[in-house]
Amino acid sequence: MSDQPVPAARGSLTMAKSWLSPRTIGAIYVWILLIVLFTILSPDQFAQYATVKQVLNEYAVTILIALGLLVPLAAGLYDLSVGSVVGMAGIGSAWCLAHVSPNPWLALAAGLGIGLACGLVNVVVVILMRVDSFIGTLATSSIFGAIVIAISGQNTISENVSGDFQQFFGLKSIAGLTAPVGLMLVGMLVLAFVLEKTSYGRRLYATGYDDEVARLGGVNVPALRASTLMVSAGFAALAGVMVTASLGAGDPTVGPSFLLPAFAAAFLGATQFRNGRVNPWGCVVAGLLLGTGDVGLVLSGAPVWAPSVFEGALLILAVSLTRASMRNPLGRLRDAVGRIRPGRPDGPGQANHPSLQGG
């Protein structure tokens, strides 16, 4: 590197170019492209405030779950149980409304409590029993799903759900935006502060990069990772309660279907702003981008399979726009799967630290 001082204007220009590079904010460019495209395709319907409301209201819950996922991902853990935790909290809050009290706040507390209890189970399995997070949370997801069926008898629970509870958490709005949108925005800001401005956040990323180095640096890795599983469960629980409020019923079938979209938003978001590092800004942009595509495609009369093509193509595009192998979050998934292959010396018990390559 040259010792010559870089002129301030040139430095600012370089920084701006870096910030505006498709490798940093590729999804924003794709988003703008989509907005222009759908405005041309559906001029009367797309370019309206109603579209903004729709995308925010209908995709806030998925983004809320994705935001929670970021925290364990940052620390090098996968939480595959979030979909089932959504189901647990949702059916738990509905059960509380039907059998304990119609008080919406009590139902919210019940849903959150159940979600956090699920998080505690994950902590026991992944941290205390040292089961690989990929496998451990997959297993607990299955158990939580079974409990949902047991609680609900596989029936929807609707008694008292459509009263104050639905009004408070599913319908009441400010400027047309409902509670989940507010929770999503608050969650994004809080996570951004915690992950980027606190020592806790720095320790999380350090643990995610290399847990051994973090441990030698004085980080209590097990405690830190345990906290991340509780955070993701808390976010998923909150989302579950919101889903029940939105449906006007506790539905035992809906939770698991949020898992893949939430992971897609988290992974896609990691390709934005922070060069392959999971971050809340990117996560929210990614979620809204996916929502914009879904809404725009239906508005423009695309066939039923179109949103799936769109989501797949978008994920490929966004990942290929980043420095593919260096800090690609999907590389961590590949590493984790590679580690749990039978016969590998660093098998399941060692797979709890899927460090970022080249980070």
Partner 1 sequence: MGRTTRFGTAVAAFAAALALAACGSSDTESSAAGAEAGSSTGAAESGAVAEARKSVAALMERPTTMEVPALPSKPASGKTLDFIACATPTCKAFGDLLKEATAAVGWELKVIQGGFAPKDIANSWNQVLRDKPAGVIASGGIPTSLFANQLKELDKLGIPVVLHDQPQSDKITGVTAVVMSDEDNYQYGKELADLMLADASGKDIHLGIFQTQQVPVFVNNRKALNEMIKSPDCEGCTVDTFDFQVADQGTKLPAKVVSFLRSHPDVNYLYFDYNDAVDGVPAALQRAGLADKVKLLINSISTTEAGYMRNDQVWASSANPWPETLWKDFHIILAKDSGAPLEDAIGVKLPNMILTKENLPEFSGALFPLVEDYQSFFKKAWGVE
For the beta carbon of residue 175, count every other beta carbon within 10 angstroms.
8
358 lines the binding site for partner 1 (CB under 8 A):
no
18 lines the binding site for partner 1 (CB under 8 A):
no
* From 118, 249, 262, 286, residue interacting with partner 1 (rule: CB under 8 A): 249
Length of the chain (residues): 359
263 lines the binding site for partner 1 (CB under 8 A):
no
The least distance separating partner 1 from the CB of residue 133, rounded to whole angstroms, comes to: 25
The answer to whether 284 and 59 are in contact (CB under 8 A) is no
* From 11, 22, 347, 349, residue interacting with partner 1 (rule: CB under 8 A): 22
Nearer to partner 1, 107 or 206 (CB): 107
Single out the residue of 177, 71, 165 nearest to residue 111, CA to CA. Answer: 165
The least distance separating partner 1 from the CB of residue 118, rounded to whole angstroms, comes to: 20
Nearer to partner 1, 214 or 318 (CB): 318
Q: How many binding residues for partner 1 (CB under 8 A)? A: 65
Nearer to partner 1, 21 or 101 (CB): 21
Per-residue interface string for the shown chain with partner 1, residues 312-351, x marking contact by CB under 8 A: xxx-xx--xx--x---------------------------
Residues between 96 and 135 with contacts to partner 1, criterion CB under 8 A: none
The least distance separating partner 1 from the CB of residue 154, rounded to whole angstroms, comes to: 4
Per-residue interface string for the shown chain with partner 1, residues 273-312, x marking contact by CB under 8 A: ------------------x--xx-xxxxxxxxxxx-xx-x
For the chain, give the secondary structure using H, E and C. CCCCCCCHHHHHHHHHHHHHCHHHHHHHHHHHHHHHHHHHHCCCCCCCHHHHHHHHHHHHHHHHHHHHHHHHHHCCCCCCCHHHHHHHHHHHHHHHHHHCCCCHHHHHHHHHHHHHHHHHHHHHHHHHCCCCHHHHHHHHHHHHHHHHHHHHCCCCECCCCCCHHHHHHHHCEECCEEHHHHHHHHHHHHHHHHHHHCHHHHHHHHHHHCHHHHHHCCCCHHHHHHHHHHHHHHHHHHHHHHHHHHHCCECCCCHHHHHHHHHHHHHHHHCCCCCCCCCHHHHHHHHHHHHHHHHHHHHCCCCCCHHHHHHHHHHHHHHHHCCCCCCCHHHHHHHHHHHCCCCCCCCHHHCCCCCCCCC
* From 201, 222, 248, 359, residue interacting with partner 1 (rule: CB under 8 A): 248
The answer to whether 271 and 318 are in contact (CB under 8 A) is yes
Residues between 199 and 228 with contacts to partner 1, criterion CB under 8 A: none
Nearer to partner 1, 59 or 78 (CB): 59
Rg (CA), the chain: 21
The least distance separating partner 1 from the CB of residue 12, rounded to whole angstroms, comes to: 24
Nearer to partner 1, 19 or 29 (CB): 29
The least distance separating partner 1 from the CB of residue 5, rounded to whole angstroms, comes to: 29
Residues between 158 and 197 with contacts to partner 1, criterion CB under 8 A: 158-159, 161-162, 166, 170-171, 173, 176, 178
What does the alpha-carbon distance between residue 332 and residue 254 come to, in Å, rounded to a whole number?
28
Residues between 29 and 88 with contacts to partner 1, criterion CB under 8 A: 30, 34, 37, 41-42, 45, 50-51, 53-54, 57-59
The answer to whether 127 and 222 are in contact (CB under 8 A) is yes
Q: Which residues lie near partner 1 (CB under 8 A)?
A: 22, 30, 34, 37, 41-42, 45, 50-51, 53-54, 57-59, 152-156, 158-159, 161-162, 166, 170-171, 173, 176, 178, 243, 245-249, 251-254, 257-258, 291, 294-295, 297-307, 309-310, 312-314, 316-317, 320-321, 324
